Every structure is written in structure tokens, then in C-alpha cells.
Structure 1
Amino acid sequence: MKFRHFCIFAATLFTTFLFAQNPNRNEGGQITVSGKAIDADTSEPLEYATLVLQSLDDPNQVTGGVTDQNGNFSVDAPAGKYNIRLEYISYRPYTLNNQNLTADKDLGTIKLAIDVAQLDAVEVVGEKTTVEVRLDKKVYNIGKDLTTSGASVSDALGNVPSVTVDVEGAISLRGNENVRILINGKPSAMAGFGSTDALKQLPADAIEKVEVITSPSARYDAEGTAGILNIVLKKEKTLGFNGSVNLNAGYPSTSQVNTNLNLRTNNFNLFTTLGYFYREPPGNANFDNYYYNSKFSRITEDRDMFRRNKGFNVNLGMEYFLTEKSSITGSFFTRFSDERDGTENNTVRYINDVVDSKTLREEVENEDDNTYQFSLNYTNNFNDEGHKLTADFQYSTDNEEINTDIAENQFFPTEEIINLERVFETEKETEYLVQADYVLPMGDAQFEAGYRGSFEKNENDYNLDTYNPNTDSYETNYSLSNLFTYEENVNAIYSQYGNKYGKFSFLLGLRLENTQLKGKVTSELDDEALIDTLGFNFDPDFNKKYLNLFPTVNVTYELGDNENVTLGYNRRINRPRGWFINPFPSRSSRANIFQGNPDLNPAFADAFDLGYLKRWDKLTLTSSVYYQRETDAFERIQTETGQQTSDGIDIIRTIPINLATNQRYGGEVGVMYSAIEWLQFNGSFNFFKFDTEGEYEGVDYGASNTSWFSRLSAKVKLPSKIDWQTNGFYMGPRENSQTKSEGMLSIDMALSKDILDDNATISMNVSDLLNSRKRRSYTESYNDAGQLSFTSDSEFQWRQRQFTVSFIYRFNQPKNQRGERGKRGNDGNGGDEGGEFEG
């Protein structure tokens, strides 16, 4: 299969060479040959098909060009007699001989069919383009990343430029955590409900590409002030039965089995993914806290975390081709997981630098999580020019049952029980999604319009039992037991228009969203007693509504065939998620708690992005500068509650609030280099600064921070068909209004070799080679009088160095099979690309 990619690459270079030899092609006596190339079976555009014009007067004179992403071609040549040939690797060519071209000629839509006889003998040596720049996004193919073999989707995202994944799995885009995660262009149970935990359970090998959308068009939901990450999953598109089996195991204890099966005929496409995982990733943390107006002057904590996570997931679907132009796709996804997380926290408490007491806190949490999602998609391609209608319905539900046992005992200077608790928690989340999108091409222009409705409901039933030594039994704590219900309903309509004038392209859009945020606390306490117990004023039964407009502007100017400048503007919203709203305190620590804030309002951001792309034969350069201004920005702050534990420790609360403004400036540059056949190199650097203004309860939380992160990757082809890849990542120091975090270095390394006639691949990789992926930070907190109340010096490591061995076997599916052949616009697994306007 390698020969095919080599031919595509060679044809592109050959055409570029031809154009370079004919600099006067647009002067007097010129004609233009134009048209469009599509797949005869699926009507999908064929990118990189080659049009060749061979002069009959001088057969050595050859002119040509390649099709763009929409399959369109337009080639200039001197008037004269030509043989015309349209070619695409593994397809039967289209020819028109002895054509006398005295005026522009439109060949219309040309359907190319697969040449089955040639298909089996073709071998591909090249790789897909690493990055594609479009009007509103950058598309990265990460399927060849060896370091993600046997890893999760969360791990793979950490290797995408502009993206960072912290030690706890939180995903940021350009240093901003408020990023919207989509699967195949839609919110999905595969990505979790407002959490990225589910991404740790999906295999990275399932990813075809990641779309980094820093300037989303009006087609996309306005949620996410940082932008959108759209994860497009693989799906086989060739006729017949094929698939793959992936096995991996590692240390600390981890194992995973994934099977992808696909059966495609002319009438339907049946696909399924089955997966099982088992992991025991250890973690650790330590804290050194100083208090300045408390019984204890210093408290140190040393935590060890033990986790056992196992689960099973199934994704089953079928696409049925109703007609040559339309199809309906139904899919069902479910995931079952069983998690057991344990934490041992050794605490030493000091009074004036003298040890006063030592305690051990043990917490064991058992969680059963069942997720179900049903999706239905209808696609109608009215013609081959992109006139299209798609409709989607999606229902998702997630049910969690969490039981936690907490025991804290003093063992120095005396032995005694400090606290025993049992927590019983059930959480049910449901989401309905209804969406319709219409695309109408008008020559070089394109009009789009659509509707999207998403309706989410979260019910959290929380019951806390506390041990009473006087009765030697557990009793319900009615002050903190509660039922919290939260709803987020968003109805949106949008319209956008794009056009191209010569080298200038633009896409203008406007989105109208009506948002309802509704929450209610049901408790044994009345509202006044509830507010007094939780320690701050809030509305236990709120219903907020917002009607907002979100304009988008994206423009591109082509400086040359391989060089362009892009400019984007968009307005975004950050809606608070359920755990940011729930006012009841966490139980992970008696002295350090997290509470949500029901009075939290959405934040709004205006963002500008200026980008530049330049391609050379062996080098690709991408760069951009950006600015964002966010109002009512979220900030997590630590404050004293004024309360103490039963043994005299001041309780510190972390709570999210709306600050006044947050301004973010930044720039990034990325380089991909492949000058040597056996070496590939890519790197990126992102620099940003943010200024925050605002105060809470008389305390100024304004801050200014400058930080950066950089990523380097090198892939080397060794003898005996062995590939070696090393990835390095460094996150520079950061700080907010209270906390300063040190820089962090992480290195991943992998080796890979094809075996069994290239039908299988075995790889070995190590994640965090130096075991240095740790968050080290220092926090200072002041009271409302401006006095220092406490400091905290901490180190946190969510997961230690990991070794993994992976084996993948493919049947009826060569390793580098070209995934684009036969692709339909929206097949239920192909992303939110339907009708996208390309400049």
C-alpha cells in the first residue's frame, strides 16, 4: 500500500514543478480547464486527483494540477490541442483525447471508479499530511504517533499542538481549561458529561484525527471560551469484512483489549468496537501548610493513592444507504466501569514547630458507572456540488453509584477515633440532542443554516452518615445530606455565508442561543438554616435565562500556492457545570474542602486570532497570535470558613467565583520537518500572558501571569523496519491570584516494528520516562483585613511512570490503507464537517 501515498506525493510535487516552469500561464492566449472529481460509488470528492494536459503539437509539453479538498480543479494552459487525463491512484483514469481547446472548458463532475485489479498491488510509502489549515480550524492526524500505542485518548491529546493535559487529566487549549470536547462533531457520552475521565478509558488507536478549533464558526455550539477540540474516530470505508485486534499490557499494572470490526457492502456498512480495560495507576501527593491565626501552626500531609479501574465498552452501528445520495445511520454506545479508589493520608500537626499529634485518614471509594448513548443520523446529498441536509438525534444517560468509607484516627500521642463517615451517592445525568443542518452551495459561495437543541439534567442524591461513639452507630447527617438537581437547556439557531474572490476567502456567521440554567436543593433544613450551615449566601432554588448573540468572522488570504494568512473573530460562552454549582462540600478532606457556587453566572469571551501558514517541500510552518477578553471569568479561590474541625483545625474552602475580567494574550508557532527519509521532526511553542481583575468579599484577586509550553517530537526509522519516537513536553511556571506553580517536564519514548508480513505491529513505550510529571505549587491566602492567614506548599503526581507493550493485528486491512477512500459526508462517525466552506 505504500506506493499509493508515494504516487500522490510525487504527483503533487510534479505538478508544482510544472507550474514553476510556466510562469506566464495566465497571460494572453490562455484557457482554463476546470471540473470536479468524485468517487463513483459514494459521490465523495477526491482530493489530490491529478489532471494532466499533454500537448499534441509537442508531447513533451505537459501542464497539470491537482484537486483541492472538495475535489475541484482549475488548470490554466495555452490554447491548443491536448490529450486530457484525470488520474487518481487505484482508480481507473478518465481520458479525453484530441481536444482542440480554444476557450475555457468545464468538464463538469467526473466520476472515477476504483480499479480493483490495481488495488491489491499498490503499496503506500508516504503518510497523511500532518496538519491541514482550514478557515475555522487546524486538523492534526495523530494516527502515526507511536507513543500513543496502548495509551488513552486523553494521553493522545497531550501530543497535539496547542493542547496540554495536566497531571489530573484536565485538558487545556492554549493554557485555557474552558475547552469544549466533541466526538465526531457532537457532545458525546464517550467524552463524558462535563468531565474528561471517560477519555482516559478510550484507546488512542481509535482516533483518526483531532480538529483544533480556536475560532469556531457559527455552526458550532458557542460553549467553551478557549475553543473546541473535535475528536474524529476511525471508521473503515472499504468494501468487505475487515478489522483489527489490539492487545496491550504494562507496568504499573495495566491491560487493555480492543477489537474493531467492519462489514461494508453496497447497501450498508456495519461497524463495531469492543473494548475491555484494567488499570491500577498509583499516585501520591504531599502538602506542607502553615497557619498564622490557628491552634496549629503547621500541618503536613503525605498522601498515597491506590486505584483499580476496570471497564467494558461497546460501540455498535450501521449505516444504510437509502439511495445513491442519502443514508441513515444508527449507533449504540455503552460503557460499564467499576472503580475502586483508595487514599491514605498521614498527617502531622505542629504547635510552634513541636509535633502535637499524628493522624491517619483512610478513604476508600467504590464507584459503578453505566453509560448508554443512542444516536441517529440522516444525510441527504441532493447533488454532487455539496447541496446537503443532515439531521441528528442523540440520547445519552449516565448512572453512577458511589459508596465511600472514611476513617480518620489519631495514633500519636494517644490512640483515638477522630472521625468515621460513610457516604452514599447516586448521580444520574441525561442529555437529549436534536440538530439539523442545511448547506446550499452557490458557485464559489456557500450558505448554511441550522438548529440545535441540547437538554441536560443532573440529579445528585447525597447521603452522609457519621459515626456516633456514644451510641456506637452511624447516624445520618441531615445538615449535609441532600438532593441537588441541575438543568441546562440550550436552544440555538445559526446561519453563515462563505465566499471566495480570487485569493480571498471569508466565512461570516451569526448564532442565537437561548440558555436556561436551573437548579434546586432539596434538604431537611430550611433555606435559612441551609445557608448558615454551608457558610455563604445563595439561592437554593434558582432559574436563570440568557438570550445571546454570537457572531463569527473567519477570513483567509492566499499569499501563494502554499502560503496563507488567516484572521478570525468569535464570541463564546462558558456555562458553569454541575460540580461548579453544587454548594455542598466535598469530603476528601475535613480541613480542605471544595464547594460549588449556585450564584455562578456564565462567562463571556471575545477572541481574535491571526494565523500564518507556509509550506515548503519538506517543511511546514504554522503560527498565530491571539487575544481574548473574558468577562465574569471563573476563578477558584481559597478562603477561611471561620469554622474548625472537632480537633481544632481551621477549615479552608475552595470556591469558584465570577471575577470582573480576564485578558489573555499569546502566540504560538509549530514546525514539521521531514528533510531526511529516515527522520521526521515536529515541534511547537506557545507563549501566553493573562491579566485578571476582580475582588471577592473585599479581597483583591487580581493577578498577572506569563507562561509558556513547548513540545518536541522526533521519529527515526531504524534498520529492520523499526521505528523509534521520542516526545518531550515542558510546561513553564504559572501563577494565578493565589498560587504559583513550577515548570514541569515530561518525556515519552516508543519503539515499533511491523511483523507477520506487515499485518501486525508490536510496540513498546514508556510514558513519563523521568517520572517527572508532577505539579508543584505554592499558595498564599489573605483574610479580608489583608493579613496572611495560611500558606500551602504542595506536590501532586496523579500517575507514575508507565511501561506498556502493545500488539495490533489487522485482517483484510493493510497497515497504511488510505482512510479517505469511499468516505461519505456524515456517516455517523465522520465529524462535523458536512458542508464546510473551504477557502
Structure 2
Amino acid sequence: MKRICLLFILIVSFIRVNAQANGRVSGKIIDADTKQPIEYVSISIFKIGVASPFNGSVSHTKGNFVISNIPNGEYSIRIDFMGYKSATIDHIALSNSVRAISLNTISFVPAQTQLQNVTIVGKAPMVENKIDKLVYNAANDLTSQGGAALDVLKKVPQVTVDIDGNVELQGNANIRFLINGKPSSIFGASLTDALQSIPASQIKSIEVVTSPGAKYDANGTGGIINIILKDSKVQGINGAVNLSAGTRLNTASVNLGVRKGNIGVNAFFSGNDQFNTTTITTNDRYTTDNTLNNTTHLYQKGSGNFARSGYQSGLSFNWNISKKDELTASVGFNHFGNHTNGITNQDQMVNESPSENSISDLLSLRNSNSRFNANAIDYSLAYKKTFKKEGQELDVLYNSSQSKNNSYSFQQQDYQTGNFPSSGTMNTNPGKDRETDIAIDYVQPISKNFSLETGVKGVFENINNNVVTDTLAAGGFVPNADQTYGFNYKRNVYAYYLSAQFSLFGFFDAKAGLRDEYTNTRSDFPNAHIPGYNILAPSAILSHKIDPTQSIKVSYSYRIERPDYNDLNPFYNISDPHNISTGNPNLRPEIGHNYELGYNKSYNSGANFYAGVFYRYNTNDIQSYTTQFDTLNVGGTKYTNVFLNQRYNVGTETTEGLSLFGSVPVGNKLNLRANTMFADRITTNPGNPKVSGFTYRLNLNTTYQFDQNLVAEVFGNYNSSQRTIQGTRPAFFSYNLAIRKLFFNKNASIGFTTADPFTKYVDQRSLTSGTNFTQSSLRQVPFRTFGLSLSYKFGKLEFKKEKENDDNNGGLQAPPEN
């Protein structure tokens, strides 16, 4: 914290020295006919007698604009936007006595000419840094084409994705994932499978919120990642088709948008299929038993085949009932699943200590098979009401998500020495997860520079599952009553928040709030009891715009991590009897304190730079922990030489880090981008030594535009290894090449992508150690892929002028004039 405060003081000192010109001009742009605000209008300010503008801005969602840091002098302002007549405002004078001028509401007159067959070409910056979030625009991401959401996330600043699809935000894996701003039960069932089932072609943008405000749920100590899917709100019929075929993954997506007047409908279908791949795994384990001090050496080597598939579909309906009333309804269906099977050779040798004499040498062959699938339905209904007063707004949301999940596992061990009979288990674990959210939010402007926002929310979650186990006996698999049980878990969260947005000392734009959440939890699993608890979660963001090209912000948020479905589920996965995993119904919530200081700078050339330092402090930190058992009794069946992996509240975790992002155009054709992150994570576990694990992530991207229709991209990503509380996490390096050609007047494209083309396997080496045991592991994961992608978009924008709504006609617009 001392280092963060020192850096903040230096930046503020720099600002006060350099920000000498602080005059400002503000206003609001509205349509002269409809009286509705217009966004993205270009406002340019000129010095008197100078032909070129020296500063400018664009209007925001409510039509507002502000141009800051204007020296004393006399100016004129020009307002431009396609489809409207240009407007000029002269004789704007700023002086020591007049530092701020408000132009109030400016009526912008539409042009009378009819636009026909207009083609609009625009490209948003790949990364946008806003006051409360960072936005990664995925539409122009070439190397992710034909991939999935996980491939896009690798490009997002401050996000880390390992080879197995585990995602971290600023070094923290406890992330709240949303789709279009709403929760979905698919993320609780299997986060990696859910992210792998969303095609990259379906993603419009990804929003990263590292310090969420009071309006957001307090859940997720790492922050929030919101995946925005593509839709269309323009008049007419618009759509797109995306197809890709590769050596490892096939994807397809179809989007269709229809809008006539004030009613619009969007529909989509997307899916992918990951081909069967074979991973080679080697485990080398040494353990010492707790009684006789004999040493056991277990060597396992085998191969596993893995396949994954999934699809999504959805339908949304939007109705602008009147100028101030909007209703949106949506329904979506999600399916994904995976299948693993393999054969492992095992050699278990027991030696007497200290003589090293051999006691036994047991050879065995293990066959395993597992399946997982999930089906989820999400549906929501949202109502938005605006009022005559600018900024006054009411939002009501009902959102419900329910999923049905099923896990199956089978394993059988046949012994080649020792004259032991074959052993094995077969499990099925069907379950249901339902979450319903009801929220009401209200914004009340008090003055031009001060507004209040408040709201209430209820979250109702119900998880239940059943475990049925059969055990191999002399006559085959028979029911095992000791490993057959049910598990029900209910959690209700009631929340209220109040936040304010205001200007502080005329220097900072501030947003501060407090959220109160009460959680009530019930579980019928034996010896599992979590009492109800209440938290107060404060949050605050201070930002200052030094000039139109640079800004700083500092933020704090209090976060909580509630255990999810997989963390809690007490189902024992015994697909490998020497490596068993299970959930922990007694997990307590993790508490996090998040601090962040960021600086953003953009240049006229199109270059952009962001630097941020962050500090995280978590208590009751939830982490996976491995315990070694000489003998483990699971429902009456004894397993020997077992590693049991389970999630625990291990103590505290402190993370300090630095995140850097830069984008630099070189001429008109070449663009260079880089993401880097450096972090040190310190974990304190009572009764164990403090563990410090430094890690870094390097991400480089190069794009070259050969001509208007041909572009190529190279992307490389490296995640360093990191020390954990019980060993090391493996490093991961990958690289991608892509090229895309546009044709049919840029309505269609064909692309080629490849990942790690010169390497068949990516080696993943890790080490795990603890009291009386040590294990080294090597996984050889096939990652090389080649693929082709095709896309086609159809439809056009309609700019026909429509008659103004009549408040007495039920809110329906009249048909367009001919």
C-alpha cells in the first residue's frame, strides 16, 4: 500500500503541474424533431482565425458532451453528424472570471435529403478503458476466429487463461461471469465447458470490471467478466453467418435481427464440436506412511482421450412502448458436455525403511471413462422507464436460470501381480441448479453534477443432486448403499444499495456507494451447517480527466466469494482411486478487499497506453488443497495411497501487481499491441509456512493491413509458472497466426488460422508436495490446430425518417413516409 500511495502522489503532483488550462464547455445535443438525445455527435472547437480544430469531443448516450482544459480565449464550435445539418456556435469566450460555459440544450436539425444505399465503415478501438470497466472489442480479433470464448479471453488485458481453460483476473480465479449483464447457471455447472461452448464469432465484446460499484452483486473477489453477445438494434433485416472447420474444433453461428419501427426481434444459434484429442500423462509419486515409515513409490503413465461439444440458441424481443418506456424479453437454451476415457499403467512399489528392502511390487492396469453434460434455460424480462428530467431512470429486471447436470464416471483396475481381484466403481450424479434474480434500480439526478442511485435485489438459488454408486464384486457391479445419497442446498441473498455520482472539488469525478447483502443458507448434508450472515460492501471510484487524451482513476471495492455448485457438491470423483476429488459443503465465503490505481493515455496517432497497479487482500481464502492418505474410507470402501483434492478456507491471500497495455500504429498498415501483467501472490495458511508466488504474463499481437480487404495477424501468449501453497503451477506458451480476406463488397470473408503449427504437444510440468509426500507430473497436451473460417453478413441500415410518436396511440409508431 505504501508503494501504491507513493505512485498515486507522484501522478497527482504531475497532474497539478501540467493541468494549467482547465476551462470547459458543456452542452446537450437533441434531435430538433423528436427531442431525443443523440449520441456519438462530433463536437469540434476552433480558435478564432484558425481553420483546424485544436480540441473536441463526442456526445454520450444522453446526448451530453464536455470539452475540458481550454485556455483563455475566444472560440467557435462546430457540430457534425451524418444525416444532420452542420451547426456552428460562435463567440465563446473564456477568461479568468469565466472558466465554464454551458450551451444548455442544442437542437440539431436533420438533413432533408434521403440517404440511399449508404455503407458505413467504422472500427472501434480494440481496447477501451472506461471509468468503471475495461472493454475488449472482439469483432476484429483475427486469431480467435473459429475459436471459443476462452480464445478471446486470452487477449483481454489483466485476464489469464491456462491450457485447461482456468481463468484468472489479476491473478484471482474467483470471478463472477455474466452473459449480457445477467447471471447464468451454466457457469456454476462447469465454467470451462461453458466458456468453451460459446463461439468467438458470437461475441461482440468482453467487459472487465475489477472494482465493481455498489449496483453490482458483491459476489466475486476477483471482479466481474461480462460477455456481450452480438445483436442488432438497427431498422430493417440484418444477419450474419459464421462457419469454421479445423483439425481440433468446428464452430458455427447464425444471427438474425429484424426491427420495424419500435419493435425488434433478435435470434441466434451457435455451436461447436471439439474433436477427440489424446493427452499423455505421467505421475511420479513418493509417500511415507504415518506408522511404519515405509516408502511407497507410485508410477503412473497413460493416455486419455477427450472430446467436447456444445451449442446455444436464443431469442430476444424489444418493444419501445413509448418514448420513455421500453420492454425487453429474452429466452436462451444452452447445452454442453465432455467425454473422457483412457488406459493407465500403474506400478506401486513399497520399500521398508530404513533398510530399503522391497516389501511389494504391484502392477495394475486401470480403465476409466467419464461423461458430463449440462442443459440450461435462461429467461429474463426487463422494463426501463425514463422521465422528463434528464438522467432520471427506473429499471426492473426478472431473470431466471435453471440447469440440469449429469456426471458419470467408471473405473476398473485389473492387477497383474499380487493375485488381487479386480476392483472398480461406477457413479452417476444427476443434479439441478436454479437461480432466480429480481432487481429494481432507480436513478435520481439531484443537480447537474450530483445524482443518486438506489435499488433492491433478491437472489434465490436452489441446488440438489443425487449420487448413485455401484461397486465391482465377484458377480459384477452391485449397488453400494453407503455411497448412495442425496444433497440439497438452498441459498437466498437479499440486497439493498445506495450510491452517488458527483464532482469532487471540481477536480475528480467520483462514484461511491454502499451495498448491504444478507445471505441465508440451508443444507441437508450431514454435519454441514453455514449460519446466515450479513455484509456491508463499500465501493468508491475517483477519476480525473487531465485532458481529452489522458486520465487517472483510483478505486476500492469490498467483495465476497460464495462457494458455487462444484465447490459444495460432496460427490466423490473416483475415476482414479489414487487421485480422488470431492466438494466441501462446509465452505465459508471468502472476503476480499480490492484496491486499484490506473492511468490511461491516448494519442492523436491512434496509439493508446494504460498502466495500473492493484492490491488484493482476501480472508477465508478458498483454494484447492491436496491431502495424502495411506488409507481412505469412502462409504465403506477402502482406497490405499490416496491423494484427496478438496477446496478449503486456507487463510489469507495478498496479491500485489502491475498491469500494462499498449497499442501503437506504425504507419497506415501495421499495428502493435502488448499486454503484460506482473503479480506476487502471498498465501498464509495457519500452521504452514508463508508462500510467495511471483508470476507474469506476456501477450504480444501484431496486425498488418495489406490492403482494404486483406489483413494478417500474429499473436503470442506466455504465462509463467507460479508457486502455490503445495507446489508449482506449470508455465504455458502458445502462438497463433491468422489471415483474413474480405470480398463481396466486404459482406463476406474467408480466413485461415493456426495455433502452435510446429509443435505437436505442449508440455505441462508441475510439482505437488506436502507432509510425507511429493509428486511430479507431466502432461503432454495436443494443442496444434489448423482451421478455415467463413463469414457472411446480409441486410442494410435504413435511415428513413419516421413520424414522431403520438403519446395517445399506444406508443406505436406510424409507418414510414413514402
| Alignment TM-score, normalising by the size of structure 2 | 0.86
Question: 1:17 matched to which residue of 2?
Answer: none
1:40 to partner: Cα distance: 7.2
**1:132-531 paired onto structure 2 within 5 Å:** 132-189=128-185, 191=187, 193=189, 195-252=191-248, 254-284=249-279, 285-293=281-289, 297-337=296-336, 339-351=338-350, 356-383=361-388, 385-410=390-415, 412-413=416-417, 417-441=421-445, 442-469=447-474, 472-501=475-504, 502-521=506-525
Question: 1:106 matched to which residue of 2?
Answer: 103
Question: 1:825 matched to which residue of 2?
Answer: none
Question: 2:16 matched to which residue of 1?
Answer: none
* 2:531 counterpart letter in structure 1: K
Q: Which runs of 5+ in 2 are unaligned?
A: 1-18, 800-818
1:780 equivalent in alignment to 2:795: no
* Change in CA separation of 1:624 and 1:723 when aligned onto 2, cut-off 3 Å: same
Where 1:150 maps in the other structure, the secondary structure is coil
Where 2:155 maps in the other structure, the secondary structure is coil
- For 2:439 and 2:230, how far apart are their aligned partners in 1? 23
Q: Which of residues 623, 641, 647 in structure 2 aligns to 1:650?
A: 641
- Asked whether the 8 Å contact 1:43–1:384 carries over to 2, the reply is no
- For 1:181 and 1:33, how far apart are their aligned partners in 2? 37
- Asked whether the 8 Å contact 2:26–2:64 carries over to 1, the reply is no
- Asked whether the 8 Å contact 1:135–1:556 carries over to 2, the reply is yes
* Change in CA separation of 1:384 and 1:800 when aligned onto 2, cut-off 3 Å: farther
- For 1:602 and 1:248, how far apart are their aligned partners in 2? 42
* Change in CA separation of 1:433 and 1:557 when aligned onto 2, cut-off 3 Å: same
Where 2:524 maps in the other structure, the secondary structure is strand
1:230 to partner: Cα distance: 1.4
Where 1:297 maps in the other structure, the secondary structure is strand
- For 1:116 and 1:196, how far apart are their aligned partners in 2? 52
* 1:640 counterpart letter in structure 2: Q
* Change in CA separation of 1:562 and 1:460 when aligned onto 2, cut-off 3 Å: same
Question: 1:567 matched to which residue of 2?
Answer: 554
- For 2:35 and 2:295, how far apart are their aligned partners in 1? 72
Question: 1:822 matched to which residue of 2?
Answer: none
Question: 2:668 matched to which residue of 1?
Answer: 677
* Change in CA separation of 1:119 and 1:716 when aligned onto 2, cut-off 3 Å: farther
Where 1:649 maps in the other structure, the secondary structure is strand
- Asked whether the 8 Å contact 2:662–2:674 carries over to 1, the reply is yes
What do residues 228-258 of structure 1 show as CA deviations (whole Å, max 9, x unaligned)? 1111222112110010111111113x32221
1:546 to partner: Cα distance: 0.8
1:686 to partner: Cα distance: 0.8
- For 1:692 and 1:803, how far apart are their aligned partners in 2? 40
- Asked whether the 8 Å contact 1:109–1:384 carries over to 2, the reply is no
- Asked whether the 8 Å contact 2:258–2:264 carries over to 1, the reply is yes
- For 2:649 and 2:339, how far apart are their aligned partners in 1? 35
1:667 equivalent in alignment to 2:658: yes
* Change in CA separation of 1:85 and 1:667 when aligned onto 2, cut-off 3 Å: closer
| Alignment TM-score, normalising by the size of structure 1 | 0.84
* Change in CA separation of 1:95 and 1:737 when aligned onto 2, cut-off 3 Å: closer
Say which is worse superposed, 346-355 or 491-500, in terms of deviation: 346-355
* Change in CA separation of 1:454 and 1:81 when aligned onto 2, cut-off 3 Å: closer
* 2:157 counterpart letter in structure 1: P
- For 1:92 and 1:282, how far apart are their aligned partners in 2? 57
* 1:47 counterpart letter in structure 2: Y
1:72 equivalent in alignment to 2:64: yes
Question: 2:731 matched to which residue of 1?
Answer: 743
Say which is worse superposed, 277-286 or 394-403, in terms of deviation: 277-286
- For 1:652 and 1:116, how far apart are their aligned partners in 2? 75
- For 1:648 and 1:515, how far apart are their aligned partners in 2? 38
* 2:567 counterpart letter in structure 1: F
- For 2:217 and 2:300, how far apart are their aligned partners in 1? 42
Question: 2:569 matched to which residue of 1?
Answer: 582
* 1:776 counterpart letter in structure 2: R
* 1:804 counterpart letter in structure 2: G
* Change in CA separation of 1:218 and 1:105 when aligned onto 2, cut-off 3 Å: closer
1:417 to partner: Cα distance: 4.9
Question: 1:837 matched to which residue of 2?
Answer: none
1:601 equivalent in alignment to 2:592: no
Question: 1:827 matched to which residue of 2?
Answer: none
* 1:551 counterpart letter in structure 2: P
1:63 to partner: Cα distance: 7.4
Q: Which of residues 541, 550, 565 in structure 1 aligns to 2:537?
A: 550
Where 2:151 maps in the other structure, the secondary structure is helix
Question: 1:535 matched to which residue of 2?
Answer: none
What do residues 709-760 of structure 1 show as CA deviations (whole Å, max 9, x unaligned)? 1111111123583211111111112011211134321112211111222111
* Change in CA separation of 1:810 and 1:189 when aligned onto 2, cut-off 3 Å: farther
Question: 1:793 matched to which residue of 2?
Answer: 776
Where 2:497 maps in the other structure, the secondary structure is strand
- For 1:50 and 1:808, how far apart are their aligned partners in 2? 36
* Change in CA separation of 1:487 and 1:105 when aligned onto 2, cut-off 3 Å: closer
- Asked whether the 8 Å contact 1:366–1:403 carries over to 2, the reply is yes
Q: Which of residues 616, 623, 628 in structure 1 aligns to 2:616?
A: 628
Where 1:322 maps in the other structure, the secondary structure is strand
Question: 2:40 matched to which residue of 1?
Answer: 47
1:603 to partner: Cα distance: 1.3
* Change in CA separation of 1:595 and 1:123 when aligned onto 2, cut-off 3 Å: closer
- For 1:765 and 1:350, how far apart are their aligned partners in 2? 47
* Change in CA separation of 1:725 and 1:138 when aligned onto 2, cut-off 3 Å: same
1:116 to partner: Cα distance: 7.8
- For 2:521 and 2:569, how far apart are their aligned partners in 1? 13
1:377 to partner: Cα distance: 0.7
1:402 to partner: Cα distance: 3.3
- For 1:727 and 1:666, how far apart are their aligned partners in 2? 23
1:803 equivalent in alignment to 2:759: no
- Asked whether the 8 Å contact 2:188–2:566 carries over to 1, the reply is no
Identity of aligned residues (%): 24
- For 1:42 and 1:576, how far apart are their aligned partners in 2? 49
Q: For the aligned residues, what is the CA RMSD?
A: 3.1
1:375 to partner: Cα distance: 0.8
* 1:141 counterpart letter in structure 2: N
Say which is worse superposed, 715-724 or 240-249, in terms of deviation: 715-724
Say which is worse superposed, 305-314 or 622-631, in terms of deviation: 305-314
Question: 1:764 matched to which residue of 2?
Answer: 752
Where 2:740 maps in the other structure, the secondary structure is strand
Where 2:573 maps in the other structure, the secondary structure is coil
Q: Which runs of 5+ in 1 are unaligned?
A: 1-22, 522-526, 528-538, 783-788, 819-839
* Change in CA separation of 1:581 and 1:403 when aligned onto 2, cut-off 3 Å: closer
Say which is worse superposed, 399-408 or 550-559, in terms of deviation: 399-408
Question: 2:84 matched to which residue of 1?
Answer: 92
1:286 to partner: Cα distance: 2.1
* Change in CA separation of 1:53 and 1:708 when aligned onto 2, cut-off 3 Å: closer
* 2:513 counterpart letter in structure 1: G
What do residues 585-621 of structure 1 show as CA deviations (whole Å, max 9, x unaligned)? 2212111111322322111111211111111223211
Where 1:598 maps in the other structure, the secondary structure is coil
**1:526-545 paired onto structure 2 within 5 Å:** 539-540=527-528, 542-545=529-532
Where 1:145 maps in the other structure, the secondary structure is coil
